């Protein structure tokens, strides 16, 4: 069952550009993921951080990083607070996030 642990799980949003999945700050397993949804023409959007292993998560409004681009995996209608549908696609999400980070790192 998913549990909202905003106090720790938000550490997955650090800016060190390490690849995903990351070590979960709650359980120590390499099962931490992030996902953003950027609203059109705005930097504000939604953010999720979660661990597939211990099922700690957080969902909030967030200032989306400049390197982020929405993926075609999800539309706004597909997204909700609990990350269960995101977790089902965590491998694809991690590949997307890692490719965006790689592109950002190579351009800077």
Q: Which residue has the higher pLDDT, 5 or 11?
A: 11
Rounded to whole angstroms, how far apart are CA atoms 85 and 82?
A: 8
Round the average pLDDT of the chain to a whole number and report it. 91
Quick one: average pLDDT of 13-26? 88
pTM: 0.92
Rounded to whole angstroms, how far apart are CA atoms 48 and 76?
A: 13
Rounded to whole angstroms, how far apart are CA atoms 97 and 3?
A: 23
Q: Residue 63 is part of which domain span?
A: 3-107
- Give all strands (DSSP E) within the chain, no chain letters: 3-4, 22-23, 30-38, 44-51, 56-63
Domain count of the fold of the chain: 1
Least confidently predicted of 4-13, 38-47, 79-88: 4-13
E strand or H helix at 7:
helix 6-9
């Amino acid at each position: 069952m998913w549990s909202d642990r905003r106090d720790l799980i938000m550490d997955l949003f650090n800016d060190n550009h390490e690849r995903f999945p990351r070590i979960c700050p709650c359980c120590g397993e390499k099962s931490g993921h992030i996902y953003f949804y950027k609203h059109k023409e705005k930097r504000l959007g939604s953010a999720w951080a979660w661990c597939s292993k211990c099922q700690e998560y957080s969902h909030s409004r967030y200032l989306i990083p400049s390197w982020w681009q929405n993926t075609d995996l999800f539309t706004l209608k597909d997204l909700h607070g609990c990350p269960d549908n995101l977790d089902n696609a965590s491998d694809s999400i991690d590949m997307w996030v890692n490719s965006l980070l790689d592109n950002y790192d190579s351009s800077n």
